[in-house]
Structure 1
Protein backbone atom coordinates (compact mmCIF):
# COMPACT_ATOMS: atom_id res chain seq x y z
CA UNK A 1 0.00 0.00 0.00
CA UNK A 2 1.35 3.40 -1.00
CA UNK A 3 1.67 6.26 1.41
CA UNK A 4 -0.47 9.22 0.49
CA UNK A 5 1.37 12.33 -0.58
CA UNK A 6 1.45 15.27 1.81
CA UNK A 7 -0.65 18.23 0.66
CA UNK A 8 1.12 21.14 -1.02
CA UNK A 9 2.58 23.80 1.21
CA UNK A 10 0.17 26.72 1.24
CA UNK A 11 1.08 30.25 2.34
CA UNK A 12 -0.47 29.47 5.74
CA UNK A 13 1.58 26.28 6.16
CA UNK A 14 4.76 28.07 5.08
CA UNK A 15 4.07 30.85 7.60
CA UNK A 16 3.50 28.26 10.35
CA UNK A 17 6.78 26.49 9.50
CA UNK A 18 8.70 29.79 9.51
CA UNK A 19 7.14 30.70 12.87
CA UNK A 20 8.18 27.28 14.18
CA UNK A 21 11.72 28.09 13.12
CA UNK A 22 11.55 31.53 14.75
CA UNK A 23 10.86 29.90 18.11
CA UNK A 24 13.24 26.95 17.67
CA UNK A 25 15.47 26.06 20.63
CA UNK A 26 18.30 23.56 20.68
CA UNK A 27 19.72 21.50 17.85
CA UNK A 28 18.22 22.23 14.44
CA UNK A 29 18.35 19.85 11.48
CA UNK A 30 16.09 19.39 8.49
CA UNK A 31 15.06 16.03 9.95
CA UNK A 32 14.10 17.58 13.30
CA UNK A 33 12.15 20.30 11.48
CA UNK A 34 10.35 17.63 9.43
CA UNK A 35 9.51 15.80 12.69
CA UNK A 36 8.13 18.99 14.27
CA UNK A 37 6.02 19.81 11.20
CA UNK A 38 4.72 16.24 11.07
CA UNK A 39 3.80 16.41 14.77
CA UNK A 40 1.83 19.62 14.25
CA UNK A 41 0.23 18.89 10.85
CA UNK A 42 0.15 15.11 10.63
CA UNK A 43 1.94 15.30 7.26
CA UNK A 44 5.56 14.42 6.53
CA UNK A 45 7.52 16.72 4.24
CA UNK A 46 11.08 16.17 3.06
CA UNK A 47 13.99 18.55 3.44
CA UNK A 48 13.94 18.87 -0.35
CA UNK A 49 10.35 20.11 -0.22
CA UNK A 50 11.26 22.64 2.46
CA UNK A 51 14.34 23.77 0.50
CA UNK A 52 12.18 24.55 -2.56
CA UNK A 53 10.55 27.42 -0.66
CA UNK A 54 12.96 30.37 -0.18
CA UNK A 55 11.05 31.60 2.88
CA UNK A 56 11.62 28.29 4.66
CA UNK A 57 15.19 27.79 3.43
CA UNK A 58 16.19 31.33 4.43
CA UNK A 59 14.47 31.09 7.82
CA UNK A 60 16.18 27.72 8.43
CA UNK A 61 19.62 29.11 7.54
CA UNK A 62 19.11 32.23 9.62
CA UNK A 63 17.90 30.27 12.66
CA UNK A 64 20.70 27.72 12.32
CA UNK A 65 23.26 30.56 12.28
CA UNK A 66 21.57 32.22 15.26
CA UNK A 67 21.66 28.98 17.26
CA UNK A 68 25.33 28.21 16.62
CA UNK A 69 27.37 28.64 19.74
CA UNK A 70 24.46 29.50 22.02
CA UNK A 71 23.97 27.69 25.27
CA UNK A 72 20.56 26.90 26.74
CA UNK A 73 19.63 28.77 29.90
CA UNK A 74 20.26 26.68 32.93
CA UNK A 75 20.18 27.90 36.52
CA UNK A 76 19.36 31.49 35.56
CA UNK A 77 15.91 30.65 34.22
CA UNK A 78 13.04 32.34 36.11
CA UNK A 79 10.67 30.18 38.13
CA UNK A 80 7.51 32.09 37.26
CA UNK A 81 5.84 30.46 34.26
CA UNK A 82 4.48 33.83 33.02
CA UNK A 83 7.95 35.34 33.07
CA UNK A 84 9.40 32.31 31.23
CA UNK A 85 6.65 32.55 28.62
CA UNK A 86 7.22 36.31 28.20
CA UNK A 87 10.96 35.72 27.74
CA UNK A 88 10.27 32.95 25.24
CA UNK A 89 7.92 35.24 23.34
CA UNK A 90 10.55 38.00 23.35
CA UNK A 91 13.09 35.49 21.98
CA UNK A 92 10.65 34.50 19.20
CA UNK A 93 10.11 38.17 18.31
CA UNK A 94 13.86 38.80 18.25
CA UNK A 95 14.36 35.78 16.00
CA UNK A 96 11.53 36.90 13.71
CA UNK A 97 12.92 40.45 13.52
CA UNK A 98 16.37 39.12 12.63
CA UNK A 99 14.93 36.82 9.98
CA UNK A 100 12.86 39.65 8.49
CA UNK A 101 15.91 41.90 8.39
CA UNK A 102 17.83 39.18 6.53
CA UNK A 103 14.92 38.68 4.10
CA UNK A 104 14.71 42.45 3.56
CA UNK A 105 18.42 42.55 2.73
CA UNK A 106 17.93 39.78 0.15
CA UNK A 107 15.03 41.71 -1.40
CA UNK A 108 17.11 44.90 -1.54
CA UNK A 109 19.89 43.00 -3.30
CA UNK A 110 17.34 41.56 -5.74
CA UNK A 111 15.96 45.07 -6.40
CA UNK A 112 19.44 46.41 -7.18
CA UNK A 113 20.03 43.51 -9.57
CA UNK A 114 16.72 44.22 -11.33
CA UNK A 115 17.44 47.95 -11.54
CA UNK A 116 20.88 47.38 -13.07
CA UNK A 117 19.53 44.81 -15.54
CA UNK A 118 16.65 47.13 -16.49
CA UNK A 119 19.07 50.01 -17.05
CA UNK A 120 21.20 47.79 -19.32
CA UNK A 121 18.08 47.09 -21.40
CA UNK A 122 17.31 50.81 -21.73
CA UNK A 123 14.52 50.94 -19.15
CA UNK A 124 14.73 54.21 -17.20
CA UNK A 125 13.88 54.80 -13.55
CA UNK A 126 11.00 57.03 -14.70
CA UNK A 127 9.62 54.10 -16.69
CA UNK A 128 9.95 51.79 -13.69
CA UNK A 129 8.35 54.31 -11.33
CA UNK A 130 5.41 55.14 -13.61
CA UNK A 131 2.09 54.53 -11.82
CA UNK A 132 0.17 51.44 -12.76
CA UNK A 133 -2.98 51.96 -14.86
CA UNK A 134 -6.17 52.07 -12.84
CA UNK A 135 -8.26 48.90 -13.19
CA UNK A 136 -11.56 49.30 -15.02
CA UNK A 137 -14.36 49.71 -12.49
CA UNK A 138 -17.60 47.83 -12.78
CA UNK A 139 -20.15 50.48 -13.64
CA UNK A 140 -23.83 49.89 -13.41
CA UNK A 141 -25.54 50.30 -16.75
CA UNK A 142 -27.41 53.55 -17.01
CA UNK A 143 -25.88 55.08 -13.89
CA UNK A 144 -23.04 57.60 -14.26
Structure 2
Protein backbone atom coordinates (compact mmCIF):
# COMPACT_ATOMS: atom_id res chain seq x y z
CA UNK A 1 0.00 0.00 0.00
CA UNK A 2 1.48 3.38 -0.98
CA UNK A 3 2.44 5.80 1.74
CA UNK A 4 0.29 8.92 2.16
CA UNK A 5 2.45 11.97 1.58
CA UNK A 6 -0.18 14.72 1.72
CA UNK A 7 -1.39 15.09 5.30
CA UNK A 8 -2.70 17.89 7.50
CA UNK A 9 0.92 18.70 8.40
CA UNK A 10 2.30 18.66 4.86
CA UNK A 11 -0.61 20.46 3.17
CA UNK A 12 0.43 23.96 4.41
CA UNK A 13 4.01 23.32 3.23
CA UNK A 14 2.77 22.31 -0.21
CA UNK A 15 0.44 25.29 -0.51
CA UNK A 16 3.14 27.70 0.71
CA UNK A 17 5.54 26.38 -1.91
CA UNK A 18 2.88 26.97 -4.53
CA UNK A 19 2.21 30.48 -3.22
CA UNK A 20 5.85 31.49 -3.55
CA UNK A 21 6.39 29.80 -6.92
CA UNK A 22 7.90 31.94 -9.66
CA UNK A 23 8.76 31.06 -13.22
CA UNK A 24 7.35 28.24 -15.30
CA UNK A 25 4.81 26.14 -13.40
CA UNK A 26 3.96 22.62 -14.48
CA UNK A 27 2.66 19.65 -12.51
CA UNK A 28 5.92 17.76 -13.04
CA UNK A 29 8.10 20.66 -11.87
CA UNK A 30 5.82 21.27 -8.90
CA UNK A 31 5.68 17.60 -7.86
CA UNK A 32 9.49 17.39 -8.08
CA UNK A 33 9.86 20.45 -5.82
CA UNK A 34 7.30 19.10 -3.34
CA UNK A 35 9.16 15.77 -3.25
CA UNK A 36 12.36 17.61 -2.31
CA UNK A 37 10.59 19.63 0.40
CA UNK A 38 9.00 16.53 1.92
CA UNK A 39 12.25 14.52 1.63
CA UNK A 40 10.65 12.03 -0.71
CA UNK A 41 12.59 10.23 -3.42
CA UNK A 42 9.96 11.02 -6.01
CA UNK A 43 6.35 12.10 -6.16
CA UNK A 44 4.02 11.84 -9.11
CA UNK A 45 1.70 14.68 -9.86
CA UNK A 46 -1.19 12.21 -9.53
CA UNK A 47 -0.53 12.15 -5.78
CA UNK A 48 -1.11 15.93 -5.67
CA UNK A 49 -3.84 16.45 -8.26
CA UNK A 50 -6.32 14.24 -6.40
CA UNK A 51 -6.56 16.89 -3.65
CA UNK A 52 -9.05 19.54 -4.74
CA UNK A 53 -7.40 22.23 -2.59
CA UNK A 54 -4.03 21.69 -4.26
CA UNK A 55 -5.56 21.42 -7.72
CA UNK A 56 -7.49 24.68 -7.30
CA UNK A 57 -4.51 26.53 -5.81
CA UNK A 58 -2.30 25.26 -8.67
CA UNK A 59 -4.75 26.51 -11.30
CA UNK A 60 -5.06 29.93 -9.65
CA UNK A 61 -1.29 30.26 -9.21
CA UNK A 62 -0.66 29.35 -12.83
CA UNK A 63 -3.20 31.98 -13.91
CA UNK A 64 -1.60 34.58 -11.62
CA UNK A 65 1.87 33.81 -12.99
CA UNK A 66 0.59 34.23 -16.52
CA UNK A 67 -0.86 37.65 -15.63
CA UNK A 68 2.39 38.72 -13.96
CA UNK A 69 4.36 37.63 -17.03
CA UNK A 70 2.17 39.79 -19.23
CA UNK A 71 2.74 42.85 -17.02
CA UNK A 72 6.38 43.86 -17.16
CA UNK A 73 7.44 45.73 -14.04
CA UNK A 74 10.32 47.87 -12.84
CA UNK A 75 13.87 46.51 -12.72
CA UNK A 76 14.88 47.83 -9.29
CA UNK A 77 15.85 44.84 -7.09
CA UNK A 78 14.11 46.19 -3.98
CA UNK A 79 10.91 46.87 -5.86
CA UNK A 80 11.06 43.43 -7.46
CA UNK A 81 11.54 41.80 -4.05
CA UNK A 82 8.60 43.73 -2.62
CA UNK A 83 6.44 42.88 -5.61
CA UNK A 84 7.28 39.20 -5.23
CA UNK A 85 6.51 39.31 -1.50
CA UNK A 86 3.24 41.09 -2.27
CA UNK A 87 2.39 38.40 -4.81
CA UNK A 88 3.09 35.63 -2.26
CA UNK A 89 0.91 37.35 0.34
CA UNK A 90 -1.91 37.87 -2.15
CA UNK A 91 -1.81 34.20 -3.12
CA UNK A 92 -1.83 33.18 0.56
CA UNK A 93 -4.74 35.54 1.22
CA UNK A 94 -6.73 34.10 -1.69
CA UNK A 95 -6.03 30.59 -0.41
CA UNK A 96 -7.23 31.50 3.10
CA UNK A 97 -10.36 33.16 1.73
CA UNK A 98 -11.18 29.97 -0.21
CA UNK A 99 -10.59 27.93 2.94
CA UNK A 100 -12.93 30.15 4.99
CA UNK A 101 -15.62 29.89 2.32
CA UNK A 102 -15.29 26.11 2.24
CA UNK A 103 -15.53 25.88 6.03
CA UNK A 104 -18.59 28.14 6.08
CA UNK A 105 -20.27 25.96 3.46
CA UNK A 106 -19.41 22.85 5.47
CA UNK A 107 -20.91 24.39 8.63
CA UNK A 108 -24.12 25.30 6.80
CA UNK A 109 -24.30 21.77 5.42
CA UNK A 110 -23.89 20.26 8.90
CA UNK A 111 -26.46 22.64 10.35
CA UNK A 112 -29.02 21.76 7.68
CA UNK A 113 -28.46 18.04 8.22
CA UNK A 114 -28.81 18.40 12.01
CA UNK A 115 -32.21 20.03 11.59
CA UNK A 116 -33.33 17.06 9.48
CA UNK A 117 -32.38 14.50 12.15
CA UNK A 118 -35.20 13.35 14.40
CA UNK A 119 -34.81 13.55 18.18
CA UNK A 120 -31.88 15.95 18.10
CA UNK A 121 -32.22 18.67 20.71
CA UNK A 122 -30.46 21.64 19.13
CA UNK A 123 -30.36 23.60 22.41
CA UNK A 124 -28.72 20.71 24.30
CA UNK A 125 -26.29 20.13 21.45
CA UNK A 126 -25.42 23.82 21.34
CA UNK A 127 -24.78 23.95 25.09
CA UNK A 128 -22.46 20.92 24.93
CA UNK A 129 -20.58 22.23 21.90
CA UNK A 130 -20.11 25.66 23.46
CA UNK A 131 -19.09 24.37 26.90
CA UNK A 132 -15.73 25.74 28.07
CA UNK A 133 -12.70 23.53 27.63
CA UNK A 134 -11.23 21.91 30.74
CA UNK A 135 -8.35 23.76 32.33
CA UNK A 136 -4.94 22.38 31.45
CA UNK A 137 -2.77 21.77 34.50
CA UNK A 138 0.90 22.09 33.71
CA UNK A 139 3.76 21.66 36.11
Q: TM-score, normalised by structure 2?
A: 0.71
Gaps in structure 1 of 5+ consecutive residues = 139-144
Number of aligned positions between the proteins: 132
Name the structure 2 match of 1:17: 14
Where in structure 1 do 4 or more consecutive aligned residues deviate above 6 Å?
A: none
Aligned residue for 2:69, secondary structure, equals coil
Correspondence for 2:34 among 34, 37, 44 = 37
Change (3 A) 1:62 1:111: farther
Change (3 A) 1:136 1:93: closer
C-alpha distance in structure 2 between counterparts of 1:85 and 1:55, whole Å: 27
Larger Rg: 1
Q: TM-score, normalised by structure 1?
A: 0.69
Gaps in structure 2 of 5+ consecutive residues = none
Contact 1:6–1:45 (Cα < 8 Å) also in 2:
no
C-alpha distance in structure 2 between counterparts of 1:49 and 1:124, whole Å: 42
C-alpha distance in structure 1 between counterparts of 2:11 and 2:57, whole Å: 11
- The structure where helix makes up a greater share of residues is 2
Contact 1:78–1:84 (Cα < 8 Å) also in 2:
yes
Instruction: Compute the displacement of 1:128 (Å).
Output: 4.0
Correspondence for 1:46 among 23, 44, 47 = 44
Aligned residue for 2:134, secondary structure, equals coil
- Check if 1:107 corresponds to 2:103: yes
RMSD over aligned Cα atoms: 3.1
C-alpha distance in structure 1 between counterparts of 2:92 and 2:112, whole Å: 30
With 9-18 and 76-85 compared, the bigger mean Cα shift is at 9-18
Contact 1:26–1:67 (Cα < 8 Å) also in 2:
no
